[in-house]
Amino acid sequence: MYKHPVLLQIELFARAFHSGDASGHDWHHIRRVRGLALYIAEKEEKGDRFIIEASALLHDIPDVKLNADNQKGAKKLKAFLNSLPLAEYQKEQIQNIVASISFKGGNETELLHFEAMAVRDADRLDAIGAIGIARAFAYGGKKGQPLYDPELPVRKQMTEEEYRNGKTSSIHHFYEKLLLLKDRLYTERRKNLQKNATTLWSSFYRNFSKNGMLNDENISSPGTDKILRGKSAVW
Ligand code: ADP
Ligand code: NI
Protein backbone atom coordinates (compact mmCIF):
# COMPACT_ATOMS: atom_id res chain seq x y z
CA MET A 1 0.00 0.00 0.00
CA TYR A 2 1.27 3.48 -0.86
CA LYS A 3 2.57 5.42 2.10
CA HIS A 4 3.41 9.12 2.05
CA PRO A 5 7.25 9.36 2.23
CA VAL A 6 6.99 11.85 5.11
CA LEU A 7 4.97 9.31 7.10
CA LEU A 8 7.72 6.74 6.51
CA GLN A 9 10.26 9.24 7.82
CA ILE A 10 8.11 9.95 10.89
CA GLU A 11 7.66 6.24 11.53
CA LEU A 12 11.42 5.63 11.48
CA PHE A 13 11.96 8.49 13.91
CA ALA A 14 9.26 7.20 16.29
CA ARG A 15 10.56 3.61 16.10
CA ALA A 16 14.07 4.75 16.99
CA PHE A 17 12.86 6.97 19.85
CA HIS A 18 10.64 4.30 21.45
CA SER A 19 12.76 1.21 20.86
CA GLY A 20 14.04 -0.33 24.06
CA ASP A 21 11.38 1.35 26.22
CA ALA A 22 10.18 -0.86 29.09
CA SER A 23 7.60 1.49 30.63
CA GLY A 24 4.67 0.58 28.37
CA HIS A 25 5.62 3.32 25.89
CA ASP A 26 7.47 1.07 23.46
CA TRP A 27 7.13 1.23 19.67
CA HIS A 28 4.22 -1.24 19.75
CA HIS A 29 2.18 1.16 21.91
CA ILE A 30 2.73 3.79 19.21
CA ARG A 31 1.87 1.31 16.46
CA ARG A 32 -1.37 0.32 18.22
CA VAL A 33 -2.34 3.97 18.79
CA ARG A 34 -1.77 4.72 15.11
CA GLY A 35 -3.90 1.71 14.11
CA LEU A 36 -6.72 2.61 16.49
CA ALA A 37 -6.73 6.30 15.53
CA LEU A 38 -6.92 5.48 11.82
CA TYR A 39 -9.61 2.88 12.51
CA ILE A 40 -11.69 5.49 14.37
CA ALA A 41 -11.26 7.95 11.48
CA GLU A 42 -12.25 5.32 8.92
CA LYS A 43 -15.35 4.22 10.87
CA GLU A 44 -16.52 7.77 11.45
CA GLU A 45 -15.49 8.93 7.98
CA LYS A 46 -13.97 12.09 9.40
CA GLY A 47 -10.65 13.83 9.82
CA ASP A 48 -7.44 14.40 7.90
CA ARG A 49 -5.78 10.94 7.80
CA PHE A 50 -2.29 12.34 7.23
CA ILE A 51 -2.51 14.59 10.29
CA ILE A 52 -4.02 11.79 12.38
CA GLU A 53 -1.31 9.30 11.43
CA ALA A 54 1.55 11.77 11.91
CA SER A 55 0.21 12.90 15.29
CA ALA A 56 -0.38 9.34 16.50
CA LEU A 57 3.19 8.39 15.54
CA LEU A 58 4.59 11.43 17.36
CA HIS A 59 2.18 11.63 20.32
CA ASP A 60 4.63 10.42 22.98
CA ILE A 61 7.83 12.09 21.66
CA PRO A 62 7.62 15.09 24.04
CA ASP A 63 6.13 13.08 26.95
CA VAL A 64 7.73 14.28 30.16
CA LYS A 65 7.98 10.65 31.35
CA LEU A 66 10.28 9.89 28.44
CA ASN A 67 12.34 13.09 28.46
CA ALA A 68 14.51 14.95 30.93
CA ASP A 69 11.80 17.62 31.22
CA ASN A 70 8.80 19.14 29.43
CA GLN A 71 10.81 21.72 27.52
CA LYS A 72 13.39 19.27 26.20
CA GLY A 73 10.62 17.00 24.95
CA ALA A 74 8.80 19.84 23.17
CA LYS A 75 12.04 21.01 21.57
CA LYS A 76 12.78 17.52 20.28
CA LEU A 77 9.39 17.35 18.56
CA LYS A 78 9.71 20.85 17.13
CA ALA A 79 13.19 20.25 15.75
CA PHE A 80 12.08 17.02 14.10
CA LEU A 81 8.98 18.62 12.54
CA ASN A 82 11.14 21.48 11.23
CA SER A 83 13.34 18.95 9.45
CA LEU A 84 10.34 17.69 7.44
CA PRO A 85 9.02 19.11 4.15
CA LEU A 86 5.67 20.11 5.67
CA ALA A 87 3.67 23.34 5.53
CA GLU A 88 3.78 25.53 8.66
CA TYR A 89 0.08 24.96 9.34
CA GLN A 90 0.59 21.17 9.28
CA LYS A 91 3.49 21.33 11.75
CA GLU A 92 1.41 23.55 13.99
CA GLN A 93 -1.58 21.23 13.78
CA ILE A 94 0.53 18.20 14.70
CA GLN A 95 2.19 20.03 17.59
CA ASN A 96 -1.17 21.19 18.94
CA ILE A 97 -2.64 17.70 18.77
CA VAL A 98 0.36 16.11 20.47
CA ALA A 99 0.23 18.73 23.22
CA SER A 100 -3.44 17.98 23.87
CA ILE A 101 -3.24 14.22 24.38
CA SER A 102 -2.09 13.96 27.99
CA PHE A 103 -4.38 13.21 30.96
CA LYS A 104 -2.26 15.27 33.43
CA GLY A 105 -3.97 13.92 36.49
CA GLY A 106 -7.37 15.09 35.21
CA ASN A 107 -6.12 18.58 34.27
CA GLU A 108 -6.54 17.92 30.58
CA THR A 109 -7.43 20.15 27.63
CA GLU A 110 -10.94 20.16 26.08
CA LEU A 111 -10.73 19.07 22.45
CA LEU A 112 -12.32 20.84 19.49
CA HIS A 113 -10.98 18.96 16.46
CA PHE A 114 -11.73 15.42 15.35
CA GLU A 115 -8.06 14.65 14.59
CA ALA A 116 -7.11 15.29 18.23
CA MET A 117 -10.12 13.31 19.47
CA ALA A 118 -9.19 10.28 17.38
CA VAL A 119 -5.58 10.26 18.61
CA ARG A 120 -6.44 10.91 22.26
CA ASP A 121 -9.17 8.25 22.29
CA ALA A 122 -6.79 5.78 20.64
CA ASP A 123 -4.12 6.46 23.27
CA ARG A 124 -6.72 5.97 26.00
CA LEU A 125 -8.04 2.77 24.49
CA ASP A 126 -4.49 1.42 24.77
CA ALA A 127 -4.46 2.38 28.47
CA ILE A 128 -7.40 0.15 29.44
CA GLY A 129 -8.48 -3.44 28.92
CA ALA A 130 -5.91 -6.25 29.10
CA ILE A 131 -3.19 -4.16 27.45
CA GLY A 132 -3.86 -1.33 29.88
CA ILE A 133 -3.46 -3.66 32.86
CA ALA A 134 -0.16 -4.96 31.49
CA ARG A 135 1.10 -1.44 30.72
CA ALA A 136 0.24 -0.05 34.15
CA PHE A 137 2.24 -2.75 35.93
CA ALA A 138 5.13 -2.37 33.49
CA TYR A 139 5.18 1.38 34.12
CA GLY A 140 4.92 0.91 37.89
CA GLY A 141 7.86 -1.51 37.87
CA LYS A 142 9.97 0.80 35.77
CA LYS A 143 9.14 3.74 38.03
CA GLY A 144 9.79 1.74 41.21
CA GLN A 145 6.32 2.05 42.70
CA PRO A 146 4.61 -0.85 44.50
CA LEU A 147 2.03 -3.07 42.81
CA TYR A 148 -0.31 -2.12 45.58
CA ASP A 149 -0.02 -0.29 48.92
CA PRO A 150 -3.12 -0.55 51.15
CA GLU A 151 -2.00 2.41 53.25
CA LEU A 152 -2.23 4.94 50.44
CA PRO A 153 -5.49 6.82 49.80
CA VAL A 154 -6.96 6.97 46.32
CA ARG A 155 -6.47 10.59 45.18
CA LYS A 156 -9.53 12.18 43.62
CA GLN A 157 -8.17 15.59 42.71
CA MET A 158 -4.56 16.50 42.18
CA THR A 159 -2.29 18.87 40.34
CA GLU A 160 -0.25 17.58 37.45
CA GLU A 161 2.83 17.66 39.69
CA GLU A 162 1.08 15.54 42.37
CA TYR A 163 -0.12 13.16 39.67
CA ARG A 164 3.38 12.72 38.24
CA ASN A 165 5.42 12.63 41.41
CA GLY A 166 3.12 11.84 44.34
CA LYS A 167 2.99 8.44 46.03
CA THR A 168 0.76 5.87 44.41
CA SER A 169 0.64 2.20 43.41
CA SER A 170 -0.19 0.51 40.13
CA ILE A 171 -3.55 -0.68 41.50
CA HIS A 172 -4.27 2.88 42.66
CA HIS A 173 -3.54 4.16 39.17
CA PHE A 174 -6.70 2.44 37.96
CA TYR A 175 -8.81 4.50 40.37
CA GLU A 176 -6.82 7.68 39.81
CA LYS A 177 -6.88 7.54 36.03
CA LEU A 178 -7.62 4.40 34.05
CA LEU A 179 -11.17 3.70 35.21
CA LEU A 180 -12.08 7.35 34.69
CA LEU A 181 -11.15 7.29 31.02
CA LYS A 182 -14.32 5.61 29.81
CA ASP A 183 -16.24 8.81 30.58
CA ARG A 184 -13.64 11.03 28.92
CA LEU A 185 -13.71 9.79 25.35
CA TYR A 186 -15.10 11.70 22.41
CA THR A 187 -15.53 9.31 19.51
CA GLU A 188 -18.09 6.57 18.89
CA ARG A 189 -15.63 3.89 20.11
CA ARG A 190 -16.44 4.92 23.67
CA LYS A 191 -19.67 2.92 23.49
CA ASN A 192 -17.83 -0.42 23.29
CA LEU A 193 -15.45 0.69 25.91
CA GLN A 194 -18.03 1.72 28.45
CA LYS A 195 -19.37 -1.83 28.43
CA ASN A 196 -16.10 -3.77 28.53
CA ALA A 197 -13.43 -1.88 30.44
CA THR A 198 -14.92 -1.99 33.90
CA THR A 199 -15.99 -5.63 33.62
CA LEU A 200 -12.48 -6.80 32.84
CA TRP A 201 -11.02 -4.71 35.65
CA SER A 202 -13.57 -5.97 38.21
CA SER A 203 -12.73 -9.55 37.39
CA PHE A 204 -8.97 -8.85 37.51
CA TYR A 205 -9.31 -7.02 40.81
CA ARG A 206 -11.48 -9.75 42.37
CA ASN A 207 -8.90 -12.35 41.45
CA PHE A 208 -6.02 -10.17 42.65
CA SER A 209 -7.69 -9.71 46.05
CA LYS A 210 -8.68 -13.38 46.30
CA ASN A 211 -5.05 -14.34 46.06
CA GLY A 212 -4.35 -12.66 49.38
CA MET A 213 -2.86 -9.47 48.01
CA LEU A 214 -5.47 -7.21 49.59
CA ASN A 215 -5.55 -8.53 53.15
CA ASP A 216 -5.78 -5.11 54.75
CA GLU A 217 -8.93 -4.11 56.59
CA ASN A 218 -9.10 -0.81 54.73
CA ILE A 219 -9.82 -2.60 51.55
CA SER A 220 -11.59 -5.79 52.51
CA SER A 221 -14.98 -4.16 53.22
CA PRO A 222 -15.66 -1.48 50.60
CA GLY A 223 -15.73 -3.39 47.34
CA THR A 224 -14.59 -2.24 43.95
CA ASP A 225 -18.14 -1.24 43.05
CA LYS A 226 -18.36 1.23 45.90
CA ILE A 227 -15.04 2.75 44.93
CA LEU A 228 -16.17 2.97 41.33
CA ARG A 229 -19.35 4.74 42.38
CA GLY A 230 -17.21 7.15 44.36
CA LYS A 231 -18.58 6.14 47.77
CA SER A 232 -15.20 5.42 49.26
CA ALA A 233 -11.99 7.35 48.89
CA VAL A 234 -9.91 4.83 50.84
CA TRP A 235 -9.96 1.08 50.45
P1 ADP B 1 -0.75 10.94 29.90
O2 ADP B 1 0.50 10.86 29.11
O3 ADP B 1 -2.03 10.87 29.13
O4 ADP B 1 -0.76 12.07 30.93
P5 ADP B 1 -0.09 9.12 31.77
O6 ADP B 1 1.09 9.92 32.05
O7 ADP B 1 -1.15 9.02 32.81
O8 ADP B 1 -0.82 9.64 30.56
O9 ADP B 1 0.39 7.72 31.38
C10 ADP B 1 0.32 6.93 30.23
C11 ADP B 1 0.40 5.46 30.65
O12 ADP B 1 1.48 5.25 31.56
C13 ADP B 1 -0.84 5.04 31.43
O14 ADP B 1 -1.85 4.67 30.58
C15 ADP B 1 -0.33 3.93 32.28
O16 ADP B 1 -0.24 2.76 31.53
C17 ADP B 1 1.07 4.39 32.61
N18 ADP B 1 1.13 5.12 33.90
C19 ADP B 1 1.29 6.43 34.10
N20 ADP B 1 1.36 6.73 35.43
C21 ADP B 1 1.24 5.53 36.07
C22 ADP B 1 1.25 5.11 37.43
N23 ADP B 1 1.44 5.97 38.41
N24 ADP B 1 1.13 3.80 37.69
C25 ADP B 1 0.97 2.88 36.69
N26 ADP B 1 0.95 3.21 35.41
C27 ADP B 1 1.08 4.49 35.08
NI1 NI C 1 0.72 7.10 24.50
- The full set of domain ranges for the chain reads 5-103, 129-228
Q: Which ligand 1 atom sits closest to the C-alpha of 63? A: 2
User: pLDDT tens, 48-87?
Assistant: 999 999 999 999 999 999 999 989 999 999 999 999 999 9
Which CATH code for domain 129-228? 1.20.58
- CB atoms under 10 Å from CB of 23, counted, come to 16
Cβ of 24 less than 6 Å from ligand 1: yes
Q: Which stretch of 50-54, 92-96, 165-169, 178-182 has the lowest confidence by average pLDDT?
A: 178-182
Distance 147 CA to ligand 1 centre (A): 14
* Shortest-distance ligand to the CA of residue 31: 2
> Which CATH superfamily does the domain covering 5-103 fall into?
HD-domain/PDEase-like (1.10.472.50)
**What's the count of helices (H) and strands (E) in the chain, helices before strands?**
12, 0
Contact 201, 179 (CB under 8 A): yes
**Ligand 1 mean position to 178 CA, how many Å?**
8
Name the residue at shortest CA distance from atom 16 of ligand 1: 136
Ligand 1 neighbourhood includes 142 CB (under 6 angstroms): no
With a cut of 60, say whether residue 218 has pLDDT above it. Answer: no
**Whole-model pTM over 0.85:** yes
Q: Give the whole-angstrom CA distance, residue 75 versus residue 172.
A: 32
